[in-house]
């Protein structure tokens, strides 16, 4: 039996040699720079308000805990609130700012202090 006779080589397709036409990218991916369309999200500042009753130490601890400030920075912010009536504790996305306000309000409620803070859009 002649095994070699049944082994017909399969023709390998060869790509035709083509030259890119005028204005053709020759099959390459062309990336075009587009003008940025997405605006950065609106940010919200959490503003804490002064009152006559909440202990200074409580405010310092709240600012440390919920706004991730060290004790010195938290004390400076607390004193600014005490002297100016209010101060910004941090700037966040809408949802994070709303959560901070809830956390502060819940901590104040549990401790029986009238401490208030609000979230407001940054211009
Ligand atoms: N004014 C308060 C006092 O004299 C202290 C205080 C500071 C309260 C900041 C609230 O957000 C506040 N005990």
- Cβ atoms 57, 74 nearer than 8 A: no
Question: Could you give the 3-state DSSP secondary structure of residue 45?
Answer: strand
Q: Where are the domains of the chain?
A: 43-121
Strand partners, 117: 48
Atom 4, ligand 1: residue with shortest CA distance: 52
pTM, two decimals, is 0.75
Q: Which residue's CA is the closest to the ligand 1 atom numbered 11?
A: 50
Query: From CA 92, how far away is CA 117, in angstroms rounded?
Result: 14
Tell me if 121 sits within 8 A of 58, measured CB to CB: no
pLDDT reading at 91 higher than 90: yes
Q: Convert the pLDDT of each residue in 25-84 to its tens digit.
A: 566 666 677 787 999 999 999 999 999 999 999 999 999 999 999 999 999 999 999 999
Q: How many angstroms separate the alpha carbon of residue 93 from the centre of ligand 1?
A: 26
Asked if the model's pLDDT at residue 17 lies above 60, the reply is no
Given the CA of residue 49, which atom of ligand 1 is nearest to it? 11
116 neighbors 49 (Cβ within 8 angstroms): yes
87, pLDDT greater than 50 = yes
Tokens 């062309």 found at:
30
Q: Which residues line ligand 1 (CB under 6 A)?
A: 48-52, 54-56, 59, 78, 81-82, 115
43-121: CATH architecture: 2-Layer Sandwich (3.30)
pLDDT at 93: 98
């Amino acid at each position: 039996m002649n095994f070699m006779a049944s082994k017909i080589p399969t023709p390998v397709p060869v790509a035709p040699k083509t030259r890119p036409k005028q204005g053709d990218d020759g099959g390459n991916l062309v990336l075009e720079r587009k003008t940025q369309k997405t605006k950065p999200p609106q940010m919200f500042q959490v503003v804490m308000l002064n009152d006559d009753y909440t202990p200074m130490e409580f405010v310092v601890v709240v600012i440390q805990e919920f706004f991730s400030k060290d004790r010195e920075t938290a004390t400076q912010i607390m004193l600014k609130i005490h002297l100016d009536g209010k101060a910004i504790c941090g700037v966040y996305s809408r949802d994070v700012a709303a959560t901070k306000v809830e956390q502060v309000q819940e901590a104040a409620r549990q401790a029986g202090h009238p401490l208030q803070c609000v979230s407001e859009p940054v211009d």
